[in-house]
Amino acid sequence: KLRIGVLALQGAFTEHINLLNRLTDDIEAVIQIKTPQQLESSNLDALILPGGESTTMALIAERNGLMEPLRGWVRAGKPVWGTCAGLILLSNTAHRTKQLGQPLIGGLSVSVKRNAFGTQLNSFVSDLSIPSLGPEPFPAVFIRAPIIETLDDPSVEVLARVTNSDAGGEGENIVAVRQGSLLATAFHPELTADDRFHRYYLEMVREVRGNLGEGVNTSSS
Ligand code: GLN
C-alpha cells in the first residue's frame, strides 16, 4: 500500500485528499505536506501538487523553505503529479514567469502557457480520449488552465490532447504528459467522480518504485 503526500499550501488539495481517501485498497495514508520536515519524515511514496494559483503557491512554498526540498525530491526521481497550477510549477519553462520572477520547481521538460484558454473561456469541461485510461472518455475539468506548448525532450510522452472547439477556439493542445516519474495534467481529475486518473497515477507510482529498486520507501509494501 502507498503513502501519498499532497502539497497543502493553497488551492484544491482537499479534493485530491478526498478522492485518494476513497481508494482504500491501494492507499495506506494520505498526508498533507506544508513543511520540509513533513516532506522528509512522512515516508512518502509519491507527491501531488494540486491546482490553485501557481504564483501564490510558489511564494508560500518558498517562504516555508519547501522549494529546494521539492526540487530535490524531483531530482531523486520520486513520483510527482502536478495538476493545473501543479503542472506549471513542475515545468521547466512557463511563459512570462521569468520576467515576473516566479520560481518554479521544474524537472518536467516542457514549456507551458498559463491561462491559455483565458481569452476564450475561463473554465469548461471536455470529454477527452485518454488511451492510457481505457476506451471511455474522461471528463476533464479545465479552470483557467495552462496548455503544454512545447515538449523539450523525447522522453516526454503525450497522454491527452484537448480539441479547442470545446473552449471556443481552434486546433488542439496537449493537456496531459508523463516523463518518467513525473505526471502532469492541465485539468482537474480530483474535481470529478471519475477516479481513473488517480488510479493510473498509483499504478505509475508502483512502477517507479519498482524501478528505483525497492524504492523510495522500503518500509511499506
Ligand atoms: N491559472 C492558474 C495559474 O496560473 C492555474 C489554475 C488552476 O490551477 N486551476 O496558476
**pLDDT tens profile 139-173:** 999 999 999 999 999 999 999 999 887 767 778 99
Of residues 212 and 113, more confidence is placed in 113
pLDDT at 105 over 80: yes
Q: Which domain holds residue 82?
A: 2-211
ipTM entry = 0.94
Q: By alpha-carbon position, which residue is closest to atom 5 of ligand 1?
A: 85
What is the CA angle 142-144-149, rounded to 5? 85
102 inside domain:
yes
Q: Domain of 21: which CATH number?
A: 3.40.50.880
Query: 169 a known binding residue?
Result: no
Residue closest via CA to ligand 1's atom 1 equals: 144
Closest CA to 194 of 77, 36, 22: 22
SS3 207: helix
Of 109, 116, 118, the closest CA to residue 175 belongs to 116
In ligand 1, the atom with minimum distance to the C-alpha of 86 is 8
Ligand 1 pocket test, pick from 10, 48, 49, 53 with the greatest ligand atom count within 8 Å of Cβ, gives 53
Q: Confirm whether residue 68 is marked as ligand binding.
A: no
162 occurs within a structural domain? yes
Report angle CA 170, 130, 120 to the nearest 5 degrees.
Answer: 25
pLDDT tens digit sequence for 33-60: 999 999 999 999 999 999 999 999 999 9
Q: What is the pLDDT of residue 221?
A: 42
| 114-128 pLDDT per residue, tens | 988 875 567 899 999
Stated length of the chain: 221
In a domain, 221, yes or no: no
At 215 the pLDDT is 46
CB contact at 8 A, 63 and 98: no
Residue for grid cell 470545446:
166
Q: Which of 210, 202, 181 is nearest to 23 (CA)?
A: 202
143 is in an annotated binding site: yes
Quote the CA–CA distance of 7 and 35 in Å, as a whole number: 9
Whole-structure pTM value? 0.92
Asked whether residue 219 is domain-assigned, the answer is no
Collapse the DSSP code of 166 into the 3-class scheme (helix H, G, I; strand E, B; otherwise coil) and give the result: helix
Q: Which atom of ligand 1 is nearest to the CA of 115?
A: 1
Any domain includes 220: no
Beta strands 46-49 and 80-83 are parallel
Residue-wise pLDDT tens digits, 189-204:
999 999 999 999 999 9
Q: Looking at the 3D structure of the chain, how many domains does it have?
A: 1
Residue 218: band (very low, low, confident or very high) from pLDDT cuts 50, 70, 90: very low
Determine which of 16-20, 161-165, 211-215 has the lowest per-residue pLDDT on average.
Answer: 211-215
Catalytic residues: 84, 188, 190
